[in-house]
């Protein structure tokens, strides 16, 4: 993965107070816990009882719709890698 794409993933992780990944009509909403060469780790839900951690590869992210929650406007904002 190029440095530019890593920088975009970091920018996505730092955007808003939550991130949303929509892939194959499945919506995953939560917080990015890690950005790595292989993709991102998204943690969904509160506490370990209700949430789960999911890895999304760079290939997955290229096909996904990405968005982050903008608390100033109280709406989801699309994000482009």
In DSSP notation, the chain reads: --HHHHHHHHHHHHSSS-EEEEETTEEEEEEEEEEETTEEEEEESSHHHH-EEEEEEHHHHHHSEEEEEETTTTEEEEE--
3 — pLDDT class (breaks 50, 70, 90): confident
Domains and CATH numbers, the chain: 3-79 (2.30.30)
- Average confidence (pLDDT) over 5-15: 93
pLDDT exceeds cutoff 70 at 61: yes
- Average confidence (pLDDT) over 34-56: 84
pLDDT exceeds cutoff 90 at 34: yes
Q: Which of 18-27, 40-49, 58-67, 70-79 has the lowest mean pLDDT?
A: 40-49
């Amino acid at each position: 993965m190029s440095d530019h794409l890593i920088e975009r993933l970091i920018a996505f992780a730092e955007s808003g107070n939550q991130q949303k990944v929509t892939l194959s009509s499945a919506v995953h909403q939560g917080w990015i816990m890690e950005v790595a060469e292989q993709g991102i780790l998204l943690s969904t839900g509160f506490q370990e009882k209700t949430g789960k951690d999911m890895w999304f590869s760079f290939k997955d992210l290229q096909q996904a719709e990405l968005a982050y929650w903008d608390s100033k406007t109280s709406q989801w904002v699309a994000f482009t890698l």
